[in-house]
Structure 1
């Protein structure tokens, strides 16, 4: 068995780097750890943290192919963020005019959650803890 310690990061490839950078930093509130432009790949790499936890690597590439991204599609399902108050988080999304799905309740834990999407349609979840 592998001796895994924890998830280190999630890598996301975006189609519009500036729009995604704004979304992840200004809407989600992630902080920039490092931003580099890799000329040989015509690609930006933006390292983002949530609090002190390194979390997301945001990449841009010229003309990335589209990917199916509905929460129930095969492959990576979604990226989930814990929130202390789901209603407050959804109100903030409403204020920012970011659409979200109706609130659902996890049938096993009784916890409430909702999905919304990043600028490329990547499903993101807010999970009330």
Structure 2
């Protein structure tokens, strides 16, 4: 089997308004589709930006994410977005009211990187 790429990444959030404000208003993802799934008790939102597809599921009663970084659990650790200039990305995130960790260099690639978090604490990274 040969993979041609990643089709989408699925994440779960608690609050529709906060999640859409973060991913759509602040990070500029476009809403492609939105469906209320009564049988599953959630809302499924498909987002897209520069060929990256996110499936966001809003489940008010989903368990909270384990703490980061001390309480890391198996599964998705974080999402990393490629940017041309981490310092410029950090400046923009901070202008939008999104705090970021201090910029550092990747231990192996020596490229600049840093983390920030979505409204539900999912670690997101920008990496040159």
TM-score for the superposition, normalised by structure 1? 0.89
Question: Who is 1:113 aligned against?
Answer: 113
Which sections of structure 1, spanning at least 5 residues, go unmatched?
A: none
Which sections of structure 2, spanning at least 5 residues, go unmatched?
A: none
Q: Deviations over 1:20-49 (max 9, x none)?
A: 011111111111111111122231110011
**In 2: Cα distance, 1:95 partner to 1:18 partner:** 20
Output the aligned Cα RMSD: 1.6
Question: Who is 2:48 aligned against?
Answer: 49
**Cα distance, 1:94 vs. partner?**
1.4
2:36/2:44 contact within 8 Å kept? yes
TM-score for the superposition, normalised by structure 2? 0.89
Question: Who is 2:73 aligned against?
Answer: 74
Question: Who is 2:86 aligned against?
Answer: 86
After TM superposition, which residue ranges in structure 1, 4 or more long, deviate above 6 angstroms?
none
Question: Who is 1:19 aligned against?
Answer: 18
2:65/2:122 contact within 8 Å kept? no
Question: Who is 1:60 aligned against?
Answer: 58
